Amino acid sequence: MKRFTSSGAEIAYQVQGQGPPLLLLHGFPQTRAMWDKIAPKLAARFTVVTADLRGYGASSKPEGLEAYSFRAMGRDMLELMAHLGHERFGLVGHDRGARTAHRMALDAPQRITKLALLDIIPTHHLLQALSKDVAKGYYHWFFLAQPAPFPETLIRHDPDHYFQSCLTGWGSTALQDFAPDQLAAYRKSWRDPATITAMCNDYRAALDIDFAMDAADLGRQLDIPTLILYGADGPMAKAYDVPGTWADRVSPLTSQSMTGGHFFPDTAPTETANALMAFFFP
C-alpha cells in the first residue's frame, strides 16, 4: 500500500501492471479490496491504480459534510493520477465510486479517455424520480443521511450485522459469495467508528450537496466512450432501464447486463474483468 496526500485528504492506493493507466474506484460499504480478484487480470494490459475513497478503508476521514461531496472525492483521485504522471486515464467506478467517477468526468472531461459506471443510475434521476419501490430497497440513502449521531449510534451497536445486511440485500447474493479475504478487509474498515461517520457524511452530502451540483449539469452530455454494467438481479435493473437513464448523459454508450445483483464485481469477478477488458482494450 502507498499513500498520497491530496489537497484535502490522505489517500491509500496500490499500483500494479504496465500499460495505459486505469483507475478503479470502489463503492459502499467496501474498500479498494473489492478489486483484488479483478485488478490482476486487468494488470496484464494496464497500469491499474486502486484507491480507497476518502472516508473509506485506509484513506483519511476528513471532518465535515462538505468534505464528502463527489466533487471532493473526485478531486482526490484527479490529483492522485496527476501525481502518478497520468494526465489522461481510463476510469471505472462501482456504486459510490461510480458516482465519484461521473462527477470527475463532468468536472474534468479532458482527463478521462473512457468511462465505466457499474450498477448506478444518475444520482439526480434517482432522487428526483424516486419511486416507493426504490425508496424501500435503497432506504439506506435516507437512513444514513439523517442528522448525526442518530445513524452512527445505531450502526455502531453491531456494524457487521448492518453492513452485511447491505451486502446481501441488493440482489440475489449470500455472504458466502464474497471472498473471505475481501470480506475481512471490509469488516476491518466498517468497524472503525470514524469510517461509519464518514460513510454517513457521504450519503448526507449526496442529498445536501451533490443533488444541486447534478441539477446544474442537467442537459450536459459527455463526449466520452462509456460502458454501463449492471447486475441483472439488482434493484436498479428491476426498477429502471439502466442504460436508458444514461442515454442523454454520455455518448457513445455501451451497456451489458451482468450475472448477479448489485455486488457483481465481488460475486462474478472474472465476468466483470472480461467485460472491462473488452471495453478498455478491444
Residue closest to 144 by CA, chosen among 134, 132, 133, 153? 153
Helix (H, G, I), strand (E, B) or coil at 78: helix
Dihedral pair phi/psi, residue 48, rounded to 5°: -100, 125
Catalytic residue at 94? Answer: no
Among 86, 124, 140, 262, the active-site one is 262
Catalytic residue at 210? Answer: no
DSSP one-letter code for 250: B
Among 26, 76, 94, 95, the active-site one is 95
The string over 32-53, giving b where at least 16 C-beta atoms fall within 10 Å of a residue's C-beta and e elsewhere, is bbbbbbbbebbbeebbbbbbbb
Residue closest to 221 by CA, chosen among 250, 255, 252? 250
**Residue 11, strand partner residues:** 4
Angle between helices 150-157 and 193-205 in degrees, nearest 10:
140
What amino acid positions are annotated as catalytic residues? Answer: 95, 262
